[in-house]
Amino acid sequence: MTPTVFWKDGNVEMLDQSRLPTEVTYVTCRDAETVARGIKDLWVRGAPAIGVSAAMGMALGARPLAEDDSFFDALADVGDMLISQRPTAVNLEWAVRRMLAFARSNNDQPVARIKEMLVEQSQRMLDEDIETCRAIGKAGAHLMPADGGVLTHCNAGALATGGYGTALGVIRGAVEAGRKVRVFADETRPVLQGARLTCWELMEDNIDVTLICDNMAAHTMGLGKIQAVVVGADRIARNGDAANKIGTYGVAILAREHNIPFYVAAPLSTVDFAMESGDEIPIEERDGEEITRVFGQTQIAPEGVKVFNPAFDVTPARYIAAIITERGAVRPQDLHLLADPNTDPTPLLVR
Ligand code: MRU
C-alpha cells in the first residue's frame, strides 16, 4: 500500500493525492503552513488521514517556537490555524486537541524535549490509526457478502487513513477472510475520489473493482449487482447521523429502496459524542470551479453560472444498518454507549 503521510529526515512527506492516479509524487512539508495547505488543497484528504497529518503539522509547527512560557499558547495558535483549513472532518480538531493535551501533560519537561516528544506522539497516532483500521476491517468483514457486489462512495481507503482504510478496510478484511467481494466504486463528482483513488488503490491490491458514474448506482442496484453498501464518515453525531462525501445520502436512500444494507465504517475518533444530531455538523462548501471546470482546466458550464458546491451531506441514522468501529459493528442507536471506554460492546454487536 502506498503510504499517505510519514516522517522522513525530520520532515513530513505527504502524498499529493490531487495528482493521482497519473502521478505518484510526495510533497516535503517542512512547516505547519505547508501541512495546512496540503489539507486545504486536498493533497491529503479523508478524515483519519487529515487527523494524522494535523498531528504531524503540530509537531512541525512546534519546531520554531520560542522555548519559554509562551510555548503552549503559541502551539495552540498553530492548532487553530490547522483546524481552520476544513470544517467537517472532526478528526482534524480531535488530533490537534490530542497533541495540545499531550504537550501540556508534559509541561514538567524542557520545551526542547516536548518538541521531540510531539514528533514521537504524531508517529504513535499514525501507527494507532493503521491498527484501528485493521480492527474495523475485522469487525465488519462478516457483514460483507460471501460472494457478491459491494458499492462504495468516495475513498475511505488506505489513502484516506494512515493505511488500510475504514470502508475499504472492511472490504480488505472480507477479502482476507476469503469472501469474494466485487467492489463497485462511485466515481464521486466533483473531485472524483472514487474514480481516481478508490479504483487505483484497489487495483494495486488486486481487489476486483468496477467504476460507475454516481448516477448509475440506482440502475446497478436494480440489476441485483449490489448486496451491501459500505462508506466512511467525516463526522458522526451521537445519534448515529453520519456526514460523508456529498452523494452518500442519496446512495443510502437508494439502498433502502432496494433492501440493501447500508454500513458506515469509521474509527471512534470520527464520532463527535458532543453533537446530538447531524443537524449540527458543519458542512464545508468548496469553490464552484470544482464543478464548472474539469480540474481547473476545461470549462464545462457557462461562465458566471451560480454554483452550490457542498462537499459533504448527512445520512440520517435510520438509513444505517450498522456503524462499524474498532470496537465492533453496532446499531446507530447504540453508538452513544461506546462513548464510555468501559462499556462492554459484546451484547451490542450486529452479527
Ligand atoms: O473531501 P474528502 O476527500 O476529504 O472526503 C473524504 C470522505 O468523505 C471520506 O469518505 C471520509 O473522510 C472517510 S475517510 C476514511
pLDDT of residue 235: 98
Asked if CATH classification 3.40.1180.10 holds for the domain at 142-348, the reply, yes or no, is: no
Give the mutation target among 18, 164, 245, 286 for probing the ligand 1 site: most ligand atoms within 8 A of CB: 245
What's the CA-to-centroid distance between 156 and ligand 1, angstroms?
6
Q: Which residues are catalytic?
A: 234
pLDDT tens-place string over residues 297-314? 999 999 999 999 999 999
pLDDT grade for 73, boundaries at 50, 70 and 90 = very high
Q: What residues does ligand 1 touch, defined as CB less than 6 Å away?
A: 45-48, 89, 154, 156, 160-161, 166, 193, 232-234, 244-245, 311
In CATH terms, the superfamily for domain 5-134 is translation initiation factor eif-2b, domain 1 (1.20.120.420)
Task: Look up the pTM and report it.
Answer: 0.97
Q: Which residues are CB-neighbours of 35 under 8 A, at least 6 positions away?
A: 12, 14, 29, 53, 54, 56, 57, 60, 61, 82
What's the CA-to-centroid distance between 47 and ligand 1, angstroms?
6
Q: What mean pLDDT is predicted for residues 193-209?
A: 98
Atom of ligand 1 nearest to the CA of 312: 8
Alpha helices in the chain (DSSP H): 32-40, 47-62, 71-83, 90-105, 111-140, 167-176, 193, 199-204, 217-222, 248-257, 289-292
Q: Where in the chain are the domains?
A: 5-134, 142-348
User: What is the pLDDT of the chain when averaged over all its residues?
Assistant: 98
pLDDT of residue 26: 98
pLDDT of residue 1: 84
pLDDT tens-place string over residues 130-176? 999 999 999 999 999 999 999 999 999 999 999 999 999 999 999 99
What's the CA-to-centroid distance between 206 and ligand 1, angstroms?
22
Whether 142-348 and 5-134 are alike in CATH topology: the answer is: no
